[in-house]
Amino acid sequence: MSNIQVTRWVMTAQSEPCVMRQENLDAPAAGEAIVEVAGCGVCHTDISFLHQGVPTRAEMPLALGHEISGKVVQLGAGADEGLLGSTVMVPAVMPCGECELCRNGHRRICRAQVMPGNDRHGGFATHVTVPARYLCPIPENVLANHELWELSVVADAITTPFQAVRSSELTAGDLAICIGTGGIGIHGVQIAAAVGAKVIALDIDDDKLAVAAEYGADAVINTKGLDIREIKGQVKAAAKEMGAPSVRWRIYETSGTKPGQETAFALVNQGAHLSVVGFTMAKQELRLSNLMAFDATVQGNWGCDAALYPEVLQWIGDGRIKVSPFVEKFALEDINSVLDAAHAGTLKRRGVLVP
């Protein structure tokens, strides 16, 4: 045993409140680490597991939560001893680093990957045991201007849109269309703007659009009540007014809704790249021949390559990505009310549960 008692809030059944469990934590296995949790962000994926029928890979009872920051307090044999005592980001998806896929640069689809809160207990707890290989130490210049708990959201809400923008090969002067500006979406707006792209933000909430305009969007469009033709017309007009390209649009769907995904696909034009970042169980009917006719690309986005985390933290340290305005601190014991609020969509900022 590790001599550490862990308190976890575990999911025991679909749509049921999480339950507190306490037990002695096993000593970390070879290559693993125990991280004392400073904060764990509440993601739409957690809501999908709890309320929308999406199955976890590990059996219940299971502590959810994959946006984790904290301090390394124990290491297993073979882990980098320099990590002990360091403050770290825990990547939301951790590859094995050894398989053929990993060796060939396809770490995000590693078949031995570990996702806390899915493959094993996650961060809605006082401690979490994870592979040590891709733990990412947080630079001092980042810690100097941020609380450790608030940096937890870097693990998904910021790194995932960073990966989407990087994969789309967005460059300065391109047009970036961000659909959904809450949660992950607002960080997509910031990242696209930091690249130097011209940014149009779409949402159905004027308050969220106002924030998007403050943090990098050159134009905002409230799509509530608009049909696809009207949305396309307004996007084209905004692009023309700001002198953006009329083709090769980079489209980022982060709303995780059926209307958002329908809008995203409808905006695909010649040479466009559509990044599917948000998740929904809803199905839709598409004309895939549009991709052929427009020589366009649609790409899924499963998290972020763990190797990119240091660069993301560098951007945060440089001030290119803001974190603090978009997070709100809650006590871990308030988990059920916070999850309910996230499910209802009433949280104005991303909730972070702090032990």
What are the two backbone dihedrals, phi and then psi, of residue 118, each rounded to the nearest 5 degrees?
Answer: -140, -60
| Beta strand pairing call for 327-331 and 67-75 | unpaired
Three-state DSSP class for residue 292? helix
Residue 166 sits in a domain whose CATH number is 3.40.50.720
> Residue 140 region, left (φ>0) first, then alpha (ψ -120 to 50), else beta?
alpha
- DSSP assignment, residue 8? E
Domain co-membership, 46 together with 151: yes
| Angstrom distance (rounded) from CA 144 to CA 86 | 15
Same domain, 253 and 334: no
Question: What CA–CA distance (Å, rounded) separates 97 from 338?
Answer: 35
**Residues 10 and 120 occupy one common structural domain:** yes
- Alpha-carbon dihedral sign for residues 120, 125, 126, 132: positive
**Same-domain status, 151 and 166:** no
Q: Pick from 36, 63, 58: which is nearest to 148 by CA?
A: 36
Predicted pLDDT at 147:
97
**Does residue 97 come out as left (phi exceeding 0), alpha (psi in the -120 to 50 range) or beta?**
left
CA distances from 221 to 79, 105, 182, 233 (A): 49, 37, 14, 11
Query: In this structure, what DSSP letter does residue 167 have?
Result: H
The residue range of the domain holding 118 is 5-156+304-354
DSSP codes joined into one string, 113-160:
-B-BTTTB--SSBSEEEEESTT-EEPPHHHHTTS-TGGGGGGGTTTHH
* Among candidate residues 280, 300, 320, the one where a domain is terminated: 300
343's enclosing H/E stretch is: helix 335-344
Residues 179 and 247 in one domain: yes
**The pLDDT value given to residue 1:** 64
Mean pLDDT split into 10-residue runs, the chain, 355 residues? 90 95 95 98 94 92 98 96 97 95 94 96 98 96 97 97 97 97 94 98 96 97 95 96 96 94 96 94 91 95 94 97 97 97 91 97
Same domain, 286 and 326: no
> Helix or strand or coil: residue 41?
strand
pTM (2 d.p.): 0.94
Report how far residue 277's alpha carbon sits from residue 275's, in angstroms, rounded to the nearest whole number: 6
In a 3-state reduction of DSSP, which class is residue 195? helix
The answer to whether residues 88 and 179 belong to one domain is no
Q: Output the domain CATH number for residue 315.
A: 3.90.180.10
Do 186 and 139 lie in one domain? The reply is no
Task: Say what the pLDDT of residue 182 is.
Answer: 86
CA distance 249 to 234: 14
Same domain (yes/no): 253, 342:
no
The answer to whether 121 and 11 have CB atoms below 8 angstroms apart is no
Q: Give yes or no: residues 233 and 246 share one domain.
A: yes
209 and 314 co-located in one domain: no
**How many CA atoms does the CB half-sphere of 69 hold within 13 Å?**
27
Give the domain-ending residue among 281, 300, 319.
300
Total domains in the chain come to 2
pLDDT reported for residue 345: 87
Residue 289 and residue 188 share a domain: yes
C-alpha distances in angstroms, 280 versus 123, 173, 230? Answer: 23, 31, 24
Helix axes 309-317, 159-167, angle to 10 degrees: 110
Token output for 224: 């509530």
Rounded Cα–Cα distance for residues 58 and 234 (Å)? 45
